[in-house]
Amino acid sequence: MKRFQDKENGQWSIDLTVGALLRVKEDSKDKFNLFEPEAPHGVLVPGEKPVPLRQALWQDDAEFWELLWYIVEPDATKRSVNAKQFGELMAAKCLASAKLIFFDEWRDFFRELQRPDKAAALEKMAKYQGKALELVEAQLRDPQMAEIDQRVTAEMESKVRTLFGGLLDSLGESTLDPTPGESLTK
């Protein structure tokens, strides 16, 4: 069992037992079958590769929040907290923290179940996601980013000048003819 905090420092537990996984599967009408992290999840689009549950939960924060609600719902009910109230308690950093804790707990569940194949898939995904984040952060710190920012800003300024210059030209002289007593150059 692992814990995370909401924005008011309330403690919530993620305890993935066989019973919890069965309850989540049943309550979600099989939407979240945590016994099968590699199973296709979501709407299957013809011609597209299906997304495994583990990937969908990692990439889609709203989908993960829905799963998290199913996990904490029994505890929330005891606290008289409904889904909307729970959502209000979950600041972005709280959800991100809960996601990391959930994936650790999910991996540990499969280790304890002696299913290293399923644990390994979750470990690899977490490792790759961590590496991707590390690479993006390094790229954002790269001194070349300042040069890229300057070039993008210059390009945007040029496009805006062109757009508004063309707009002024398209209006013609008659549109800009001041009423008697007014000047265009104030």
pLDDT for the residue 175: 54
Amino acid letter for position 72: V
Amino acid letter for position 69: W
pLDDT for the residue 113: 96
Residue keyed to tokens 């209000």: 88
pLDDT for the residue 136: 82
Residue 128 tokens read as: 């790759």
| Adjacent-strand bridge partners of 52 | 40
SS (H, E, C) 119-146: HHHHHHHHHHHHHHHHHHHHHHHCCHHH
Backbone angles phi, psi at 29, to 5 degrees: 55, 50
pLDDT for the residue 144: 86
Per-residue pLDDT of the chain (186 residues; tens, 9 = 90+): 999 999 999 999 999 999 999 999 999 999 999 999 999 998 777 888 889 999 999 999 999 999 999 999 999 999 999 999 999 999 999 999 999 999 999 999 999 999 999 999 898 887 887 787 788 888 888 888 888 888 889 899 888 888 777 776 777 655 555 566 665 555
pLDDT for the residue 124: 87
Region for residue 44 given its phi and psi (left: phi exceeds 0; alpha: psi -120 to 50; beta: otherwise)? beta
Cβ contact 94:5 at 8 Å: yes
In the chain the beta strands, taken as DSSP E runs, fall at: 2-5, 11-14, 40-41, 51-52
Annotated domain spans of the chain: 2-141
pLDDT for the residue 182: 60
pLDDT for the residue 88: 96
